Amino acid sequence: MASASASLFKSSIVLDKSEWVKGQTLRQSSVAAVRCNPAAPSSLTIRAGSYANELVKTAKTIASPGRGILAMDESNATCGKSLASIGLENTEVNRPAWRTLLVTVPSLGEYISGAILFEETLYQSTTDGRKIVDVLIEVWCPLLVPMMRWCQGLDGLASRSAAYYQQDAHFAKWRTVLSIPNGPSALAVKEAAWGLARYAAISQDNGLVPIVEPEILLDGEHSIDRTFEVAQKVWAEVFFYLAENNVQFEGILLKPSMVTPGAESKDKVSSATVADYILKLLHRRIPPAVPGIMFLSGGQSEVEATLNLNAMNQSPNPWHVSFSYARALQNTALKTWGGRIENVQAAQEALLFRAKSNSLAQLGKYTGEGESEEAKKELFVKGYSY
């Protein structure tokens, strides 16, 4: 394994503050909650050191045509809620049974280029005794693993990242949540952006491609214009601080929420409208050097998330615009399984169908043919957490 290096190399990517953040006064903030005092790195160098080429190669592999990410990183508590919805207890028998079903779907690697895991899953075995990591490497490579939540801070992140890399993880994910009703405040946006940037820098230093996830929750009655306004500020701040921390843009992936009205809004918009807002925002805020934009579904129905993705891919753009879905890939499969061994094959076929549908959407070729009523059900849960 290559050792982490503190060496830096020059890049032509220089982010001008005014280009990304209009009319805002920025300062380098310190995150008091984690006692992190930011340094002032040069804007002419980027980090990643000896891992630079590996990071770029891995990010491009994930962002390959017709493929996206299976997010199976629910915490044990949240996994328990999913199991409870089909009448199963949250046990060390049932969790691996569900995860085994997910990772052993034949041919899933044709549509899925990586899987995001909860930390427990990284060290867990399938029901037949094989390491889940080994199964994933056989079918999908590279492998992903999420980082700890914001409340656990950045302390110890470097050592955890190094340990994950040794476990054959090649990616990391950090999710920061912002809410629109009564916010978010300017301070909340800056703190969220700074935390994501520090995580990204630490991940790259240890050989992991960081998935940067600034999620703007669907909760609320706000309009799509309000979502767009907030997302502009959030994405601008995130990329400003990524540049301040000398993060290699070619070695990251962005996992944002889609620009839609609030889930409780009476305004309903078409997939074409959602795509128009998102593509406008991407062109205004995201450097073309970023190889992949892997959208989260955020409580949309399986069909709605696929339709929106398909609408985004009706014309060429500089990025690989794809998916990193959890519920919007797994819901029908979970309900089909119902915890019964005899239903495993049917559940896996449901997951494969969903993955193929999103693969077609990534290519702009999804038609909606063959969709079930279950796939059309809204999955929004107010205040949802992992």
pLDDT digits (tens, 9 = 90+) for 166-200: 888 888 999 999 999 888 999 999 999 999 999 99
Neighbours of 44 (CB within 10 A): 12
Q: 177 in a domain, yes or no?
A: yes
* 213 beta partners: 175
CA angle in degrees (0–180, nearest 5) for 220-224-225 = 115
Q: 325 in a domain, yes or no?
A: yes
Q: 318 in a domain, yes or no?
A: yes
Q: 169 in a domain, yes or no?
A: yes
238 near 212, Cβ under 8 Å? yes
Question: Which residues have a catalytic role annotated?
Answer: 213, 255
In this prediction, residue 122 carries a pLDDT of 83
- Count of structural domains within the chain: 1
Residue 291, Cβ density class (10 Å: 0-12 exposed, 13-18 middle, ≥19 buried): buried
In this prediction, residue 294 carries a pLDDT of 98
Q: 332 in a domain, yes or no?
A: yes
Q: What's the CATH number where 134 sits?
A: 3.20.20.70
Look up tokens 């328990």; give the residue: 80
In this prediction, residue 41 carries a pLDDT of 44
Flag residues of the chain having pLDDT under 50. Answer: 1-44, 147-151
In this prediction, residue 73 carries a pLDDT of 87
Q: Helix 344-362 to helix 94-103 angle, to the nearest 10 degrees?
A: 50
12: which DSSP letter? S
Q: 159 in a domain, yes or no?
A: yes
Neighbours of 312 (CB within 10 A): 25
In this prediction, residue 11 carries a pLDDT of 24
**How far apart are the C-alpha atoms of 249 and 236, rounded to whole Å?**
14
Q: What range does the domain containing 77 cover?
A: 53-368
Q: 5 in a domain, yes or no?
A: no
Specify the pTM: 0.84
Q: 90 in a domain, yes or no?
A: yes
